[in-house]
Structures are given as structure tokens and as C-alpha cells.
Chains A and B, each alone.
Chain A
Amino acid sequence: MSDEILDEITASEYKYGFTSDIESDKVPPGLNEDVIRLISSKKNEPEWMLEWRLDAFRTWSEMIEPDWPNVTYNKPNFQAISYYSAPKQTKTLDSLEEVDPELLKTFEKLGISIDEQKRLTGVAMDVVVDSVSVATSFKETLAEKGIIFCSMSEAIQEHPELVRKHLGTVVPKRDNFYAALNSAVFTDGSFCYIPKGVHCPMELSTYFRINEAGTGQFERTLLVADKGSYVSYLEGCTAPSRDENQLHAAVVELVAMEGAEIKYSTVQNWFPGDAEGKGGVFNFVTKRGICERNSKISWTQVETGSAVTWKYPSCILKGDNSVGEFYSVAVTNKFQQADTGTKMIHLGKNTKSTIISKGISAGKSHNSYRGLVRVGPRAENARNFSQCDSLLMGNQCGAHTFPYIEAQNPSAQIEHEATTSKIGEDQIFYCNQRGIGTEEAIALIVNGYCKEVLNQLPMEFAVEAQKLLEVSLEGSVG
């Protein structure tokens, strides 16, 4: 494995920087009610869905883009974005052979051959390319257990009652600027429902990918774990390089009903921009879960990509004894900016939350942790433990920590620890002396530093995440 890693480290250009020629069906740029009607009708949506979108659009039109994160960027021109782009594919597919060969080639370049993944890991994947799901596998195994795992478009057609009941309940349309925009124009995403008492037998996985130039990505994910069920969900992304900045404004909603457990893992590797910081993806995502009694939601994220990242996977600990966890590694290099963290909202009694955040800054990047722990007045015996570590490489980067604590119940126990460290020359020399070159040494030290978070990831994902860390820190010593 280490040979490959070295190769990847020495290959300086963004590995996934290519475009494939899939024919696209694209709506002209611009945003108004007609465009939304067009999207909705292209997707053959029911009336209630269109109304929902239009309501979100009207809300959004009156909102102002926020500027409180510790990031600077050229605000996207929302009228220059094309809001719909689907690979031209009309019929549903039963096997990979039916998939556009260009698309399959794309997967190959990404090293995510679906076949391989299916065979080796037993992962069912709902692959999203340019906003529309084109391949879904392992559906039958899941169906036997009553598990629904499909694209959001399909869910709207096939399971409208479930979608209608839960969509927007965790992240309301008017929650924030980007969530409102997403609600108005989302083109696809994933839907997942785990029935009562069912332990999902495999990791559910989605690969997102931006392909079409100038296409904003507005994914919508809704995951509902019914009482006493369990699911582990993996989300991973890569994106091809582009000159103009691409906007990614996804919304992810998790519902953990009584006694349910959801593990949501993300490896995010959108294009970070070139050496000068040009052309990267803007990643403005709203991710939130709600926990009923005795339930648990665990977010794990490894963020290495994007020019600008702005996201706070959060938990609303509504039910008594519910548990929220957030494990995060955020790497920034070159000119990347990340403002990420979590919100743990304790509403129920005996609720517990854990936050482990590991920031790594290299190059001229800026990495901010922003976290809120709020304990409501009725949350007796709420407990939180937060640990926010920053690792700096070189002296042109920045690490910032913004912890916010609001305790409205005197029984709350909130612990916050923060450290900032640098990779020491002593550590590197020690590794060198044992025969480990400097790039490898840094990879080793960084992986050690992130271990608590990487340990939370499913095995095969952890390996991928380690590789990503190494690739994204390539060339950061000197």
C-alpha cells in the first residue's frame, strides 16, 4: 500500500482532476419560479413537492447570504448557475452493463469500481453523478429486511408518504440561506429508511461527484431510522478540477427514533483549488440529526477537500438519554479555508455528547473549529466532552477555535479541552533515522494524531481516508 501512497504523494496534480464526456441534459443558467417548475416537472414530481419547493424559493429570495464564518470567498452568482443537469439516461438499470461506459471509466479513474466494491466489501451503493442516481445495487438484500435505500427522486415517486412526513423536519426550509436554496432546487440525493428493530446488515454508501462544468450541486439526503434500528451510512466524494468555483450546498437530515442508532461517516474530497487557490469547490452544507429517547447519532467526517468548507453536522438531543457524537478531521492546505465544527443541542434529560475535532493546517490555509454546546433548561444532567486539537505545519497557516457554550441548566457538566501543536523536527528526524522519509513520516505522524477519529470509520473507509490525508498534505513540508 505504501508504494501507492508514495506515488500519489509525488504526483503533484489533483489526482481526480479530469472531466468525462457524459452527455448531459441541462437547464439553462438562472433561478426563478419557472426554473423550479421545470426541474419539478422534469422529475415528474407530485404537486405537493412543487409547492414545497416554491415555498422554499420564496423564503430564500428574501434571505441574505450569511457572512459570519471565518472564510473569505467570491460569492457565487446564483443567476449564473445551471440548476439541473442529468446524465442522459432514460430507463432504469438492472446491471452495470447497462451503464454508460464513459461513466464506468470515470469510476475506474476514481478507483471506485462498483463491482470491486460490491464484491469485496458488501457495500450497496447509490452512486450519484451530476445529481441523478444512475446505479443502485444490493437493493434486493435490503428489500428483504424492508430497508429502503434509493435516490431521493425515486423516494418521492415510490414512498411519498415517508418523504412528506420527514422532509424538512430536521432542517426546515427557512433554516438558513443555503438550506432554503437547496430546498428549492435540489435535484437528487439519497433516501434511506430502516424499519423498526432492523439492524442494517451492510454499510450503506453513496459516492457523490460533481461532473458538469458550472453545475451547482444540491443534494438532499434523508435518513430515517425507525425505533430500535441501526444503520451505518457512508458518504464519500471526489470532484474533477475546474476553473470557476463550483458550489455545493447539500442538506442532510437524520431522524433517529426511539432507541435507534445512526452512524454517518463522510470522507469529503472536493477539488480544493489549484496551487494558487483557484477553481476549488465551495462546500456549504447543512447536516443535522434529531435524536428521540435513548437514541444515538454519531457523525464522523474526514474533510480534506474544497476551497471553502462551511459545515457543522449537528445533533438535536431531544429525547431523554440520547447521545450525540462528532468526530472530525479537517485538513486544509495551500489556500483552503475551512470553518467547521458541530452543534450539540441538549434538550432531553441525561443527554450526552462527545466532540473530538482534529484540525490540520498546512500551506497558507485557514482552519477554524466552531462548535456550540447548548443545554436547554429541561436537560437535567446533560454532559458534554469536547476536545479540539489543532496541528500546524509551517508558519503561514492559521488555526482558530471558536467554542460556544450556553448552559441553561445548572446540573450541566461541560468539559472543553483544546491543544495546538506543531509537527516537531525531532519527530521527523526520529522517523528519518529509522529509515522513514520525511513525507512518509508526516503521514505517519498525522495519522497517529487523527487516530481517535479514523478509528470511528468502517475499516475500508479508514484506509481510503488515510490515503486522502496523505495526498492532501503532499508537498506541505519544506
Chain B
Amino acid sequence: MIRINDLQARVEEKEILSGINLEINPGEVHAIMGPNGSGKSTLSSVIAGREDYEVTGGTIDFEGEDLLNLDPEERAHKGIFLSFQYPVEIPGVTVSNFIKTAINESRKGRGEEPMEAREMLAKMREKTALLEMDKSYLSRSLNEGFSGGEKKRNEIFQMAMLEPKLAILDETDSGLDIDALRIVANGVNKLRSEDNAVLVITHYQRLLDYIEPDFVHVLYNGKIVKSGDKNLALELEAKGYDWIKEENV
């Protein structure tokens, strides 16, 4: 589905990603772990198309297309979704209006008709129920005054509404209590299918207990320095990152 090849990126003259290689196939769940500042959010932003990051080398191929040539909204239309580490507030814009606009703009981008109001409403009901959100969420201003946990849950709600092919979850678990974590993880699992993939960025095993990864990668200093199966995450949990750092001085 996505093939990242020798990706290099910088921000303000500083190289942050220095040769990332990663391939994700439909149906797979990949986890990326790594110390703070290693470039995890940068990688997700570059995949999503944030312009602040300058891609200085390498390629990203998404379903046979050169992703780096597309605007962020075009990438979204093709089915890339990023659950932000720090979701932004948009005062005065309700959650329901925002998601309605997002869905219909994406549909338009794909040359499809807008979703019927009735279908939209039914879907919103279904997904708020799935994520055990109160319906009053829908009429609140997007992320304004939301707690950390509410913001993250709202990201997953949007994901559930948009049904992306590739969902990147950037530390979606931080800020969630144990119940919320289970609910959110359950929401993600409901989305999983043969046709889509999930890239989970996290520091903690506890999320991976719910969303079981097929592959685990360690990102350090802008490079994937180690890859393995789900046992690598357990090893990291037990030993911390120091041994990785020592191996890569």
C-alpha cells in the first residue's frame, strides 16, 4: 500500500529524517516506537504532506502513485488519515459540521456525490456509539475546551467517519485513561480489514495489547534502527531505549 524509500526530510536547515525505509501492506498493523525527538511525528507529518518539512531525498509511493507530488488534501482524498498528536481547536465550528465538510470535500475530491444527510446522521450516531461518546459532542466546537482524552477520542471518531485506507495514529494513546484506551483501541480494531492498514506511533505496550502489531520498528535519530515482530515492543518495554541508543552511537 505504501512504500517509503530512503526518505530524508529537514525543517529549518536541520535534518530530521535521514533515510527511512518502510513498507506497509494492506491488512497490516505497524508500530513505530522510539525516544522523544527521534522524528516520529515528523515522519507522520511528511506522509500527510505538511509543507513545513522539506523533503530532501527519497520517495513515497502510495498505491502506485508518487505521494510527494500531492497536496495534503489530495492525500486525504486518497485515504490517508493522521490522528494528530496535538489536535488543533477550531472555535465556532462544530464537530458535526467539520466532519460533514471533511467527508463531502473528500468525496468531491474523488469525484463522488456528497453523502445524503440521512446517511450522514446515521453514520454519526453509529460512530459516536462505537466510541461511547455522548451525542452532545457533535454540537461542540471542534476540540475547543476538550480534555486531552476527549481530543484523542475525537480524532478516532473522525477516523471512523472517514474510513481511511491508511490511518496513522500519532501517540493517540497519550492522555487516555484505561477505559478510554480500550474504547479507542476497539474503535481502531473495528476499522481494520484486509484492505486497510494502520501505523501506530506509541511509547507504550499497553496500546499494543489491544491493537496487536504485525511489525514493530524503532525510530532513532531519524532512522529505523531496528524492526521486529510484536515481541520487540515487549523487549523495549522491559529494557527501555538505552540499549538501542548504545547500539547506534
Q: Is the interface of A mostly helix, strand, loop or mixed?
A: helix
Bound CA span A424–B73, Å: 17
Q: For chain A residues 94-116, which have a beta carbon within 8 Å of chain B? A: none
**Residues of chain B in range 75-94 having any CB-CB distance to chain A below 8 Å:** 75-77, 81-82, 84, 87-93
Q: Which residues of chain A (165-189) have a CB below 8 Å from chain B? A: none
Asked if B98 CB lies within 8 Å of chain A CBs, one says: yes
Could you tell me if A444 and B72 are in contact, using CB atoms closer than 8 angstroms? no
Complex interface bits, A61-83 against B, C-beta within 8 A gives 1, otherwise 0: 00000000000000000000000
> Which residue on chain B has the smallest CB distance to residue A423?
B90
Interface centre among B72, B75, B104, B141 (most CB of A within 10 A): B72
Contacting A at CB under 8 A, from B133-153, are: 141-142
For residue A436, which residues in chain B have a CB less than 8 angstroms away from its CB? 73, 101-102, 105
Residues of A393-446 at the interface with B, using a CB-CB cut-off of 8 Å, are 424-427, 429-438, 440, 444-445
Interface check B49, CB cutoff 8 A: yes
The reply to whether A435 and B71 contact each other, CB–CB distance below 8 Å, is no
Q: With A3-B108, A429-B72, A440-B105 known to touch, is A434 a contact of B98 (CB < 8 Å)?
A: yes
Whether A450 is near chain B, meaning CB under 8 Å from some CB there, is: yes
Residues of A within 8 A of B108 (CB): 2-3
B-side contacts of A46, CB under 8 Å: none
Q: A444-B90, A444-B93, A445-B93 are in contact. Are A432 and B76 (CB under 8 A)?
A: yes
Q: Choose from B73, B89, B93, B97 the contact partner of A437 (Cβ within 8 Å).
A: B73
Could you say which of A425, A435, A437, A440 has the most chain B C-beta atoms within 10 Å of its C-beta? A435
In the assembled complex, which residues on chain B have CB atoms less than 8 Å from the CB atom of A425? 52
Are A432 and B73 closer than 8 Å at their CB atoms? yes
Q: Which of B51, B89, B91, B102 contacts A434 (CB 8 A)?
A: B102
Could you list 5 A-B pairs, sorted by A, with CB under 8 Å?
A432-B73, A433-B84, A436-B105, A448-B93, A451-B93
Q: Which residues of B contact A (CB under 8 A)?
A: 48-52, 71-73, 75-77, 81-82, 84, 87-93, 97-99, 101-106, 108-109, 114, 141-142, 158, 162
| Extra inter-chain contacts (15) besides given A434-B102, A435-B105, CB under 8 Å | A427-B88, A432-B71, A432-B73, A433-B76, A433-B84, A434-B158, A435-B102, A435-B103, A435-B109, A435-B162, A436-B102, A437-B71, A444-B90, A444-B101, A445-B90
Residues of A whose CB lies within 8 Å of any CB of B are: 2-3, 424-427, 429-438, 440, 444-445, 447-452
